[in-house]
Amino acid sequence: MIKLALGMAVMLALIGEARADFQDGNQLYAHCTSNAGYDQGVCQGYVEGVVDHMGWVRLALHKPQCVPDGTKASQIRDVVKNYIRDQPQDRSYEASSLVIFAVTKAWHCQ
């Protein structure tokens, strides 16, 4: 029963039925490029939260982790910030999607 519930939760998350659009890429990029400590914290926390969730989903799907062990949180943040900087046409997308795209591209996740 637990596996069925877990599978349903993962499927809903992947197809977008259960979603909450808290930020888009413009907002996340503004936080990540700000000099204010608060904004930097929002950026770092958001990126870490999405990557943690991504890792949990990959674990539930029996896929290997995407980000290599030993990678610093600041490195992941920089990858995301640079990805959003280099893809200005995508900044209206959900920030969580952009984090996943950036991490997947950077570490060639499958």
Amino acid 52: pLDDT: 96
Kindly report which listed range (14-18, 23-27, 80-84, 91-95) carries the lowest average pLDDT score. 14-18
Determine what percent of the chain is predicted with pLDDT higher than 90: 78
Query: Can you say whether the dihedral through the CA atoms of 89, 94, 95, 100 is positive or negative?
Result: negative
Q: 50-77, pLDDT tens digit by residue?
A: 999 999 999 999 999 999 999 999 999 9
- The CATH architecture of the domain made up of 21-106 is Orthogonal Bundle (1.10)
Is residue 34 pLDDT above 80, yes or no? Answer: yes
pTM of the predicted model, to two decimals? 0.79
Question: Using an 8 Å Cβ cutoff, are 89 and 101 in contact?
Answer: no
